[in-house]
Every structure is written in structure tokens, then in C-alpha cells.
Structure 1
Amino acid sequence: MFEVITISFAFLFGLLVRPFGLPPLVGFLAAGFAINIFGPPLGLPVYSGEALEHIAHLGVLMLLFTVGLKLKLKQIAQPQVIGGALLHFAISVLVFMPGLKLFMGLDWNTALLVAIALSFSSTVLAAKLLEAKRELGVFHGRTAIGILIVQDIIALVVLAVWSGQTPNVWALLVFAVPLLRPVLHRLLDLAGHDELLVLMGMLLSLVIGGMGFEAMGLSSEIGALVIGVLLSTHKRAKELGESLWSLKEVFLVGFFLQIGLTGLPDWGALAFAVAVGIVLPLKGVLFFALLAAFKLRARSAFLSALSLTAYSEFGLIVAAGVLPEFLVPLAIAVSISFVISAPLNRFAHPLFERFEERLQRYERDTIHPDEQPKDMGDAEVLIFGMGRTGSAAYQRAEEQGLRPVGLDADQYKTEAHVAAGRNVLFADAEDSNFWRSCDFRKIRAAILAMDDLEARLIAARGLRQRGFTGPIVSHALFESDQQELRAAGADYTYLTMTQAGVSLAEQTADVLGQG
């Protein structure tokens, strides 16, 4: 009966927040609190916790595994990632701790632990928001996720120190985990494309990563992430992540419901949550200042900082382990931060464009690691997005004697194309600075091959606003997409699935004609 109630409330509240431009996860949080508040008067079953906690845990493990599939190890070993994470952690603790002691009368140890819990940013929220915008692979998305990984490692150290739990002797096996890479890659080659691929994803994230690391006395969350990273270089890593998408989303509903079902707050807990909600913007401001200091351009620093402006579910994990009396107040604070952060991230790009002039004052006058290209060379065909579709278009353009140049917001994908001998540059079509600085005078045609519709619309509008008069060709998944793309300036749009069917029919006719 309880599962009927949770599913019904989750769907209803998820549907209710959609007209306000909020992601469904905010509705799921509200659903948890609603069940907690209205359940007893309505005679609903009492929340037992165990089943939903288990589902929530599986959802977090699968999310971190899919995040790992999109990561590269060198992404973490960046000055802005390690330096930004450690400095933000240290400054946050030093600011929060005296305030908590002064205004709440906490002892120094408790104030320190609460300050540590508040210093973290939400891995689940950031990963979901970046994934929804298809920005996990772009520079600011990778920077944010890298910082979150460092924070998660700090959280695990805190748990180990204060809870008295230490890794067992089997933890030494963690150094042999990289040796599993060839075996895991071979298994992925053999898994096929059907339900066996889904089961393999669950095996790797929940069993090998989750239970395997727990058996060594280590974090199951980090285990799922590490196994994902080991597979990130495989050519089918993206397919594996996509196969787990629906399952992961359903399990994560349990995670957000669980926060609301943790317990009802008293007035003290509400006051605490509102107070830390008021100072939440300072978390984002500090991240922006630190990332700008590490030579990031204002846009990358702003978008990364905004992704990190939310309190963390890892803070709840720390509280559950070493500070149970603060679990409910922190859960309310996390919920409030989600409600604030989610809509802000939805409008992240328009917000930056509005405040761009002010924010650019804080850029350092130096070479930036996320610098945008200014010269397209002698290229005559511009291809936005160098995934499978863009790569195929690039190859075909070369075969036809044209000179293509590819643009992609994923630095690692760009480097791989360059290593393969292709003319591909790192650039983000959603970056207004790119449109101001780039020279398109030699470009005769443009192809929009990005996955995200919004990115294609921005690229089409940007080209037309810069005075580009050549043909713009784009793919589309739906007829409604075609209409929007044409209104934005695209001349030719092709329905991807329809065009695939046409090509199959033409190939069949050719084969029959040969017979």
C-alpha cells in the first residue's frame, strides 16, 4: 500500500511543479514532505524507510556510475578542480563554524561537523541538471563534476575520522582496481545491445562498484563512480549510460522522496534551514571568485558556480553517520537549496548574458584554459557538434572535396578528433563570446549536428545575427523541432529517424535493382 501512496504523490507533485518551470525532482521533495504531513491524519501507512532507502541508494549508485562513464581522470587533476574544491571547503568551514557557534550555541566539534556538511554541494542535483541540459561533457560541466568528486572524497574522509570506521585489510585491493579495465572492456564488448547491457550496467554499478567497495570498508558511492571512470574510455560507454537512464531516473525518485520522508521539522529546524538558505548565494559567489582566480573565463566560472550552488545530500550522509540530531534540519536546508538552485540553473545561460558585462570585469588578463577559437582557417563548411552525426557529416564533406571544420564543447572529444587528423576546434555554441570573436567570412555552409535542440537553435540564431547568409542544415527529432529551427534561421532540416528510413528504402531499391 505504501508504494501506491508514494508513486501517486510523486507523480502528482512532479506534475504540479512543471508549469512553474521547476524540474520534477522539486515536486518529489514536496511529495515526501506532503506524505509526512498528511499521511497520519488520512490514515495512510507509516513510512518504514527500509525499502525506499534501498531504492534511493541504488539510484544514487547508478547516477554516480553514469557520471563516471562521462569522466576522464585528467579532468580531476586540474588546478581549478582540486584547488577550487579544497579552497572552497576550507573557506566555507572557517566562515560557517564561528557563526554556528555564536548564533546557535553549539560546541566547537558540533559546529565543525555542521559547517563541513554545509560546505558540500549536491552531486545528485548538479549531475541531473547538467545531464538534462546535455552539459556534463562541456568544460564548465566537467569542472563542476570534478569539484564535486573532490568534495565527495572529503566527505568520506570526514565520515571515516569521526565515525571511527576505517577501511579493512581488503581495502588494499583498491590499488588493483585499474587492472580490471581490460576485463570490464571485454565484458562490455560481449554484452550486446539488449537487456543484457542493462544488467551489465547494474552489475558494475551496484555489485562490483557498490558492494565490492563496501566489502573493503570503502564508500559504495565512490566505488560506483570509479567503475564508471574505468569504462569511460570505451567506445560504448555512452550507450551503456543511455541504457540505464530510465531505470536510474525511477530509482532517484526514491532518493528525493526519502529526503522529505526523513522527518517533520520543528520551528528551530525551519529557522536553521531558512537562515542557511539565505546565505546560499555566498556559496556560489565564492565558487565564482575562486574559479575566476584559477584563470577561467567569466562564463565558465559563472555556469560552474551556479551548478554548485546547492547544499549536498552528502551532508545528509555525514549527518546520518556522525550528527543524527541535525539530519532533519539539514534535509530541510537541502530541500530549500534545491528549490532555489534548480530554476536558476534552468535559466543559467540567459542569466549570464544579462550580467555578462559586470562578470567579465573579474576575468584575469591571461590565457584561459577554456579559450574560444577566433579563426576558422580556410574551412568552408562549419560543423557544430562532433558526435556520431557530426563526424559522419565531416567525413562525407571531405569525400566531396569540401574543407570542413568541426566545433565541439567537449575538450576531450576535440583532442581525440585532432589526434585522428581532423580539423576540429574546442568551442561552445552557447557561449556569447564565441559569436563576438569568431570570423565566419570564409564559411560557405553550416551543419548543426548537436544533440541538444536549444544548442542548435542558439547556433542558428547566432549565425544569422553575425550576418551569415549561407545555407544552414540541421537534423531534428520531431516535426515541432523543425519548425523552431526554421524560425531560428535554418534553411534545411531533416527528421533524423525519417531520413534513416528513407535511406534504408533507397538502399533496398538499389540492391533489388542490381538483382
Structure 2
Amino acid sequence: MTGYFLYAFVYLVAAVIAVPIAKRLGLGSVLGYLIAGLVIGPIFGLVGDETVAIQHFAEFGVVMMLFLVGLELEPRSLWAMKSKLLGLGGLQLTLTTALITATALALGQPFGISLTIGLIFALSSTAIVLQTLQEKGLQKSEGGKSAFSALLFQDIAVIPMLALIPLLAIPELVAAGGEQGGGEAHDSFNLVDGLAPWAYGLVIISSVAFLTIGGHYLSRPLFKFVAASGLREIFTATALMLIIGIAALMGLVGLSPALGAFLAGVVLANSEFRHELEANIEPFKGLLLGLFFITVGAGINFSVLSENPMLIAGLTLAVMLTKAAVLFLIALIFKIKGTNKWLFTLSLAQAGEFGFVLLSFASQNYVLPKDIISLLSLVVAISMFLTPGLFILFDKAIIPRYRNKKSKRDQDTIDEKGTEVIAGIGRFGQIINRLLMANDVETVVLDIRSEQIDLMSRVGTKSYFGDASKPDILHTAGIHEASLMVIAIDNRETAAKMVKYAKHAYPNIMVLARAFDRGHGYRLRQLGADYVVSETYHSALEMGAEALRSLNVHPFQVERQKMAYKNIESQQNDVLYHAWADDSSGERVDNNYLKLFIELEALIENALKADLHDKHSKMRGWTPPPKGYAEELQPDEKPNNTKR
């Protein structure tokens, strides 16, 4: 028992150290898990033969992940993606299998071995790809959706692959296995061994029908019964029972547990218990997936790798390039454009975890020799290990390249001069520009985003494509003649550089700048900005006031507290700024600043709690409604709190 605790401790320590470091370096959690496994396995040898057994257990994380994916897809949504599912997924699987099979045949392998290799390498890693897409927020992009469609088709295709592989058995391996007393034992709980094809098909149809109908009609009464107990841990146990039961059922009839879990998730997508199921299963899914990735890294066999380094490197590179070429061709056929095309291509250019399942199954059924299996296992593992690197390539090389292409539009010819220059015509700059134009103030608006300029032109707002951080563009816009410059861009560093340049080159111009938060605002003020406002300050204050009004706090009390908050903030702002600016440590948040900030919070709290009648004389900017105003209104005359 102590040994299991030690192994668990080693895996957890490796994850706790490696994953946060990898995330901080921008490598992603998946690569962190893989590196952790590599360190505790092949490099330091802290874990051993138990890795394979743990990997089979950890594959249940993939089952949970597909269940959660299914929960996000209603049956209607799944039907809507049928063209991508069959088109993208079917074409990818067919072309990749054909190319890799042909290559293996050209290298002198028999047809049965060649086809098995083609099927194994046609699959991609559902676990790594979906996890990374989710982390990077790319699952809703066209490229992410296309990758998911292909992965889902691959997971479905595992079922006929498992049916086909035994038919490719090599007589010599069968004979050798018989002489040695048989190969690895088949699953003793498989109920479909020896069934006629028609009976096997009937069992599959019955299992899927039971899963669909039972999930729809039986799950709700079960969840209501469990929820009535009020015990969260029992609901968690019920969720785990459901997924484990589905996986067991699929295993009994020879189907993929992951596919069964996905179908169950789709069936329950409309359930009122969907969010509770997600919340209960998510932690288990994350831990098991992390454990699975660690075992992949720990399972890399350095002895086999050291004996055939060039062969394994060549095979891995050939497989990934072949898959990438097929995926790129499919992206062109289906007109997936821009960065989405490259996301689709790079994200699926690896072998997957189901490759290990097929390799084990091929070994059990005497389809592949042991030496080939050891080589192919390394190729699968290494290609998975390299996948996070492909996502980094996408982030660092592909996305900037397309951004640069978009920004290569020639700068507009600025043929107007104004008394105000506005840098940035996003949601922030638009409001400022409208107010000034409504008062007949002539403005020159610049923005680096060509699509935003085109959008503004369609709604009748004159703006120019140009980088306002460049001195020559500002000069062309007439900043030397302007009296005011508004910096409304959403880039911290660029905003700071623009404030510094404008106040240095044109000391007499007034600079109004948009800040992200208090610290950014202090920095802009230090660089010379005449007026700084945090982009969320006023909106948050107004939302807080609306929350009070919604809770039936008297409108006068709400306005009084808003004004009190503004007054205290304004009075203490200079004190806090000087404390921030005087911090010699460079951290800008020393003990003195923190002390003053705590004092500010206390002042605000005291002001907001002050007696209403003591503050009437100070309220000069707002006239309260007459006494009994709200009570005298008829129900249909009461004001609507909805902002328009």
C-alpha cells in the first residue's frame, strides 16, 4: 500500500512543479504534463512498469472528456454538423490511411501490417487537441470546430477498426502464439465474442438504443431522486456511476467507451441537471487527463529510442508531415481560410491515444510483430509529445503572420485637420467621438484595425487607417495644430509610449488617456497625461447604483452614495498616486501604499454608511424626487429600470 502512495506522491509532485512552470512560459498545461512524465520516467527512473497499468486507468479521463463535450452539444447541433463530421472526418481518415498504407507497402511490409499501421496513424489525439483548444479559447473558431468534427469521426471509426483488425491476423504470428500458449488474454467480460455478424450488429443497435432511450427517460427520475437528498457527494457518486456504467456497457458489447460516453452526453444535453453534472465531473476529468499525459511522457522507452534514433525520428516526422499535408488539402477543399486552415492542419498532425489501444489490440490478435509494436508505440508517444509545440508554432508564427498581412493595408491619406486627434475608434473611442461631433468639434480619428475603419465608414463615421503611435502619422493628422489628443486604444504599452511622445514633442497639447486599471492610470499620469480614466470605473459605479435601485433602495440614497464614492476617490487619488510614484522598490505597491489604500477603502465605507440626512446640504448636483413619489405611481406608471 505504501508503494502506491509513493507513486501517487511522485506523479502529483511532478505535475505541481512542471505544469505551472509550463503555463507561465506559455507552453500550455499539456506539454507541462508530458515533460513531468519524461522527467520522472525515462530521465530519473522514479516510476517504472506500473506506468502502463496506470495509463489504462487514466484513459478514463478521455471518456469523461467526451461525456462533457457531448453535454455541450444538443442533438440538433450534432445533426447540423453532419456534413463536416462525414466530409472532413471521413475524407481525412480515408486519405491518411491510404497514404500511410501505401508507404508501408512500398517499404516491403505485408498488406495486413501496412493497413493496420495506416489505421493506427490515421487517428489523432482527442485528449491533447480538445484540452489545448479549450485552454486557448479556440474551440469555437472555425478551425477548432473543424478539428472537433474530424476527431469525433475518428472516435466513431475506432469501432469498425476493432472489428477489422482481427481479420488481418498473420498466420505465422497466430501459430507462434499458439505454440507459446496464446497471447495476451482477451477481455473475459466481452459478451460478443463468437457471435455471428448479424447478432453482433443487433447487440450494437440494442445497446445504442438502450443508451439513448434510457438516458432520456430514466436519468431524470434518478437525478431528481438523488438531488432530493441534498447530499452533493451522492450526486457526484451518481455522475461517476453513470459514466462508469456506460463505459462498462460499451466494453461488454465491444464498443468504444469514449463513444458511448459522448452519446450519453448528447442525450443529456437538454437535461436540467446538465450544469451540475459538468461541475461534478470536471475535476475528475482534469486529474485523469493530466495523469494520462504524464504516463505518455513516462512511457517513452529510451532504450528502444537509443537503438533506432534515426528510424524513429524519420517515422515520426514522416507521419506528421503526411497527416499535415492531408489536412491542409482538406482545408483547401472545404474552403477553411486564414489562421483556421493552419489551426486545423497543425492541431491534428499527430497520432493519438487510441493508437495505443489499437496497438494492444493488434498484438492480442497476432496482427503486428512485437518489434514493430515497440517502434510504433514510440512514434505515437513522440508525436503526441510534439503536439503542444505545434500549437506554440501556431501562436508565435502563424497568427502574427496573418496579423501582419492585415496591417499591410496602405495608410489612408489624411485630408482633414481637426482640433482633436482620437487614437482608437473601438467601443471607447466611438462614444467620445460622438459627443464631440454632436458639439461641432472637428475630429481626426485614427485606428490600426482596417476592419474597424470599414465598419465605421458603413455607419457614416469618418475615420482613417493609420498607426497613431507613429510620429509621422500623427503629424499628418495635424497634431501640431490640435489642442487635444484622446488615446483610446486597448494596448497598455503603446498607450504609455504615445502619452510620453505626445507630451514630449507637443508640451502644450492636452492628453486624455484611457487606462486599464489604477496602476496603469498612475503610469500614464506619471508620463504626463493630463486626464486619465479607468475604462471600467464609471461603468462599474453605474452598475452598482443600478443594483441598489433594483433592490428598492431610494433613488436619492443611490445618487448620494455614488457622489460620496466619487468625492472620496477624487480626494484620495493624489495621495495614492504620490505613494505609488515614491516607491523606491520598483514594485509600486509598498507597505505605505497598501496602508493608504486600506485607508481609502475605510473612508469610502464610512462615507457610504453615513446618515442620509447629514448629507443633504452637500447634494447640489442632483434633485431628489418629491416625498411619496414612488408610492403615488400606478403599477403601469412606475419607471422601467432597464437601460436603453
TM-score (norm 2): 0.54
Give deviations 1:246-274, integer Å, cap 9, x for gaps. 22111112211222343514145543431
Write the letter of the residue equivalent to 1:287: L
> Which residue identity does 1:115 align to in structure 2?
G
Q: Cα distance, 1:90 vs. partner?
A: 2.0
1:219 paired residue among 249, 256, 269: 256
Match in the other structure for 2:38 = 33
Taking the aligned partners of 1:92 and 1:434, their CA distance within structure 2 comes to: 38
- Kept after mapping to 2: 8 A contact 1:29/1:335: no
The CA distance in 2 between the partners of 1:255 and 1:433, in whole Å, is: 44
- After TM superposition, the structure 1 = structure 2 runs for residues 154-173 of structure 1, keeping only pairs within 5 Å, are 154-163=157-166, 167=200, 170-171=203-204, 172-173=206-207
- Shift, 1:193, TM fit: 10
Q: Does 1:70 align with 2:72?
A: yes
Alignment counterpart, residue 100 of structure 1, candidates 100, 104, 108: 104
- Shift of the 206–479 alpha-carbon distance from structure 1 to 2, 3 Å rule, reads farther
| 8 A Cα contact 1:93 1:112, kept in partner | yes
CA 1:112–1:353: 2 relative to 1, 3 Å: same
Q: In the alignment, what sits opposite 1:184?
A: 219
Give the Cα separation in 2 of the matches to 1:147 and 1:87: 9
- Distance change >3 Å, CA 230–CA 344, structure 1 → 2: same
Name 1:375's counterpart in structure 2. none
- Residue 229 of structure 1 pairs with residue 229 of structure 2: no
Change (3 A) 1:45 1:140: closer
Deviation of 1:327 after TM superposition, in Å, equals: 4.6
Which segments of 5 or more consecutive residues in structure 1 lack a partner in the other structure? 361-380, 384-431, 445-458, 466-472
Q: 1:7 to 1:83 in 2, by over 3 A?
A: same
Q: Give the Cα separation in 1 of the matches to 2:522 and 2:208.
A: 52
Partners of 1:320 and 1:117 lie apart in 2 by: 11
Q: 1:29–1:45: structure 2 CA closer, same or farther, 3 Å change rule?
A: closer
Residues 284 and 308 in structure 1, CA contact (< 8 A), matched pair in contact too: yes
Match among 174, 177, 193 for residue 208 of structure 2:
174
Q: Secondary structure at the residue paired with 2:254?
A: coil
Change (3 A) 1:226 1:259: same
Alpha-carbon distance change, 327 to 227 in structure 1, aligned in 2, over 3 angstroms: farther
Give, in whole Å, the separation in 1 of the partners of 2:316 and 2:21: 23
Task: Decide which of 310, 332, 336 is 1:271's aligned counterpart.
Answer: 310
The answer to whether the 8 A contact 1:61-1:206 is kept is no
Deviation string, structure 1 residues 25-69 (Cα, Å, up to 9, x no partner): 2232233333333555xxx56432476235402211111111112
User: In the alignment, what sits opposite 1:318?
Assistant: 358
Compute the displacement of 1:227 (Å): 0.8
- Bigger-Rg structure (1/2): 2
Hey, what's the Cα distance between the residues in 1 that align with 2:221 and 2:521? 40
TM superposition shift of 1:335: 3.6
Tell me the CA shift for residue 496 of structure 1. Answer: 12
- Against the structure 1 CA distance between its residues 433 and 507, is the aligned structure 2 distance closer, same or farther, given a 3 Å change threshold? same
CA separation in 2, counterparts of 1:214 and 1:307? 29
* Structure 1 counterpart of 2:287: 250
* Cα distance in 1 between the residues matched to 2:30 and 2:455: 38
Would the alpha carbon gap of residues 200 and 352 (structure 1) be closer, same or farther in structure 2, given more than 3 Å must change?
Answer: farther
Tell me the residue number matched to 1:109.
112
2:244 to 201, 206, 217: 206
Identity of aligned residues (%): 19
Partner of 1:89: 93
Partner of 1:493: 536
My pick for the range that moved more, 491-500 or 171-180, is 491-500
Report the counterpart of residue 348 of structure 1 in structure 2. 394
1:456 is aligned to none
Distance, in Å, in 2 between the alignment partners of 1:55 and 1:196 is 23
- Determine whether 1:47 maps to 2:49: yes
Deviation at 1:125, TM superposition (A): 1.0
Q: In the alignment, residue 95 of structure 2 is paired with which amino acid?
A: I
SS of the residue aligned with 2:358?
helix
Give the conservation status (yes or no) of the 8 Å contact 1:482–1:493.
no
Alpha-carbon distance in 1 for matches of 2:63, 2:276: 18
Partner of 2:61: 59
Aligned residues: 416
Aligned with 2:33: secondary structure?
Answer: helix
Which residue of 133, 140, 154 maps to 2:136?
133
Q: Distance in 2 between matches of 1:235 and 1:460?
A: 39
Whichever residue aligns with residue 119 of structure 1, its letter is A
Which has the higher relative contact order, 1 or 2, with Cα contacts under 8 A spaced 6 or more apart? 1
Quick check: 1:65–1:225 contact (8 Å CA) kept in 2? Answer: yes
Which aligned pairs between 1:418-457 and structure 2 lie closer than 5 A? 438=455, 442=459
* CA distance, structure 2, for counterparts of residue 351 and residue 27 of structure 1: 21
Conserved in 2, the CA contact under 8 Å of 1:260 and 1:331? no
- Structure 1 position 128, deviation (Å): 0.2
Match of 1:426 in 2: none
1:80–1:291 contact (8 Å) kept in structure 2: no
Structure 2 distance, partners of 1:149, 1:232, is: 17
Query: 1:71/1:433 Cα in 2 relative to 1: closer, same or farther (>3 Å)?
Result: farther
Q: What TM-score, normalized to structure 1? A: 0.66
Is 1:120 the equivalent of 2:123? yes
Q: State which of 128, 150, 155 in structure 2 corresponds to 1:152.
A: 155
Note if contact 1:135-1:141 (Cα within 8 Å) is conserved in structure 2.
Answer: yes
Q: 1:110/1:51 Cα in 2 relative to 1: closer, same or farther (>3 Å)?
A: closer
| Contact in 2 for aligned 1:68/1:229 (Cα 8 Å) | yes
* CA separation of 1:491 and 1:348: change in aligned 2, threshold 3 A: farther
What RMSD, in angstroms, separates the aligned Cα atoms of the two structures?
4.7
User: Is 1:332 matched with 2:378?
Assistant: yes
Give the superposition deviation at 1:222. Answer: 0.7
1:116-174: per-residue Cα shift (whole Å, max 9, x none)?
21111111111101111233344332221111111112222111221366758643231
Q: Compared with structure 1, are the counterparts of its residues 297 and 34 closer, same or farther at alpha carbon in structure 2 (3 Å cutoff)?
A: closer
| In 2, Cα distance between equivalents of 1:54 and 1:327 | 17
Whole-angstrom distance in 1 between the partners of 2:285 and 2:352: 19
Given that 1:210 and 1:223 are in contact with CA atoms closer than 8 Å, whether structure 2 keeps it comes out as: yes
Q: Name the CA shift for 1:135/1:264 in 2 (closer, same or farther; >3 Å).
A: same
